[in-house]
Amino acid sequence: MSLNLCPACNGALKPKYKLKFDIFKCRECGLYISDASFDHSFVSDMDNDMRAVGLEKLRITNFKFIADKIKQVFGTGIKNVKGLEIGCGNGWWLKTCREEGINCSGIEPERAFSPIYEANEYDVAYGFYPATKSDTQYDFIIMNDVFEHIPDVDSLTASLNADLKDGGYLIINIPMSDGFFSVTARLLNKLGVKSILNRMWQFDFHSPHYTYFNAANLNLLVSKHGFVKVNDFRLNTLDLGSTKERIVTDKKFNKLSADIMAGVLTLAMPVINAAKPDAKVFFFKKVATNNNAAGNRE
Ligand SMILES: [Zn+2]
């Protein structure tokens, strides 16, 4: 991805933060972009077992909410709907779909999850989207915490348009750059504490973030490619019962500091709830075929 022009609005990008990788900010729309690279050989700080404990309850709750919205959108037609999830990870979305009677297949680059898919007979193809895909056109395509991990969001969104039926839905579940934790992380970085912002961008993890959107600049990008936003919803990002496990996910934090942080977060909950959401799910509807792919950039 070129780090001269913003993929959402074509505005100029200016260097903003120096962490493990550099972060740039669009002067026009405020999109944040990193020059992170995906290192296949690199051993990350992520502890997969702890991650599973800390996140499952929270994510399943959010997934049930999204599944309900999908059922509302398609009504009685839900039986004939074909969905695709890009980046299925541990299969929690596919599991939710099965429980909710929604037909959804997946694409996933990591072979590590294959025992889960095989045990549950989930229909998952291995590889990176869009190189790996079938000729099917889908009624919906969903990305759960995946959009921000893909470097070239402009050509990604063009491919998504091509792989959806007319009137199909692009569903993006994504962390927000103007949520409480993002704003706090940038503030702490200004005060000299770089570790939290580095953690938010997952620069020490296997698959870092390339972008941090807000609702407005995500809409700018996606509407350029023949989509119109029909709805968006706040998602919960904090389940206090498992906050400590989530913090311990990062090997740099020990149990005591995780206890202290979990306590601070409990006290801060009213403030967090009053702030802008840290994660949202967006429903965009395909209204036009985007013939010129990633082409709106002169
Ligand atoms: Zn921009």
**CA 215 to ligand 1 centroid distance, Å:** 12
**CA 293 to ligand 1 centroid distance, Å:** 18
Query: 167-177: b or e for each residue (b if 16 or more CB lie within 10 Å)?
Result: ebbbbbbbbbb
**CA 12 to ligand 1 centroid distance, Å:** 7
Residues, CB-to-ion distance under 5 Å, ligand 1: 6, 8-9, 11, 26, 28-29, 31
pLDDT at residue number 255: 75
**CA 132 to ligand 1 centroid distance, Å:** 29
**Tens digits of residue pLDDT in 117-176:** 999 999 999 999 988 877 889 999 999 999 999 999 999 999 999 999 999 999 999 999
**CA 28 to ligand 1 centroid distance, Å:** 5
Domains of the chain listed by start with CATH number: 46-286 (3.40.50.150)
**CA 127 to ligand 1 centroid distance, Å:** 30
- Which amino acid belongs to residue 24? F
pLDDT at residue number 265: 78
Alpha-carbon gap, residue 85 to 152, rounded angstroms? 18
Alpha-carbon gap, residue 100 to 211, rounded angstroms? 31
Q: What contacts 7, CB < 8 A, 6 or more positions away?
A: 1, 31, 33, 152, 153, 154, 221, 297
**CA 190 to ligand 1 centroid distance, Å:** 22
**CA 216 to ligand 1 centroid distance, Å:** 10
Decide: 97 and 116 in contact? Cβ < 8 Å.
Answer: no
- Give just the sign of the alpha carbon dihedral 204, 207, 211, 215: negative
**Tens digits of residue pLDDT in 254-298:** 777 777 877 887 887 787 777 889 999 999 999 988 765 444 443
**Tens digits of residue pLDDT in 64-119:** 999 999 999 999 999 999 999 999 999 999 999 999 999 999 999 989 899 999 99
